[in-house]
């Protein structure tokens, strides 16, 4: 999964960007009728949930403490994670990976996640690069990586867990 150039980085910005690029690769696989679409979706679901949870637990609270990081951007990112989970659940509930419904729900997910990743890269991640020291970004990267790994180990991308996340947001 990691690229050779960034395989050993602990910079939280680089770790988040690496996940974003992997998500793009998985989108390409899910669009490919020759690929294992269901397998790509399972990997994607786990990555998306683990990534978002780790950001919300470890990265966003820390970024809120920096005066040059816009708290509205942080709140907006949390809202977009919720939208991504809803779109993910809609795709996970489609049984036939060759159906038109699969393609439609996939494109809704792609739109939601790419919109979020693009905004996050242009706002929060650029703010973090400019305002957070290299040492602090490395500390945040280690915390992000640990939280992400815990989520992945707990099968966070299962349809039942995604349903719980969506329900919790709506309650």
User: Per the domain annotation, does 4 fall within a domain?
Assistant: no
Domain count, the chain: 1
Cα torsion angle, 137, 139, 69, 73, sign: positive
Model pLDDT for residues 103-148, shown as the tens digit of each residue: 999 999 999 999 999 999 998 899 899 999 999 999 999 999 999 9
Q: What is the DSSP string of 49-66?
A: HHHHHHIIIIIHHHHTTS
Q: pTM score > 0.85 for this model?
A: yes
Would the pLDDT of 6 be above 60? Answer: no
Could you tell me the residue range of the domain that residue 60 belongs to? 12-170
Model pLDDT for residues 16-54, shown as the tens digit of each residue: 999 999 999 999 999 999 999 999 999 999 999 999 999
Mean pLDDT of 140-160: 97
Q: Reduce the DSSP state of residue 163 to 3 states and report it.
A: helix
**Confidence bin at 55 (pLDDT 50/70/90):** very high
User: Per the domain annotation, does 6 fall within a domain?
Assistant: no
User: Per the domain annotation, does 2 fall within a domain?
Assistant: no
């Amino acid at each position: 999964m990691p690229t050779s150039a960034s395989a050993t980085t602990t910079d939280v910005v680089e770790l988040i960007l690496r996940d974003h690029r992997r998500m793009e690769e998985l989108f390409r696989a899910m669009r490919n009728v020759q690929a294992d679409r269901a397998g790509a979706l399972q990997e994607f679901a786990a990555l998306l949930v683990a990534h978002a949870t780790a950001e919300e637990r470890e990265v966003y609270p820390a970024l809120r403490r920096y005066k040059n990081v816009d708290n509205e951007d942080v709140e907006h990112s949390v809202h977009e994670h919720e939208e991504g989970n809803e779109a993910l659940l809609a795709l996970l509930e489609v049984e036939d990976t060759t159906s038109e419904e699969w393609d439609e729900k996939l494109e809704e997910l792609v739109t939601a996640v790419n919109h979020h990743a693009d905004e996050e890269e242009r706002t929060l991640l650029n703010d973090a690069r400019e305002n957070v020291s290299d040492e602090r970004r490395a500390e945040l990267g280690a915390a992000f990586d640990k939280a992400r790994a815990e989520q992945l180990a707990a099968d966070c991308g299962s349809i039942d867990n995604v349903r719980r996340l969506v329900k919790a947001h709506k309650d």
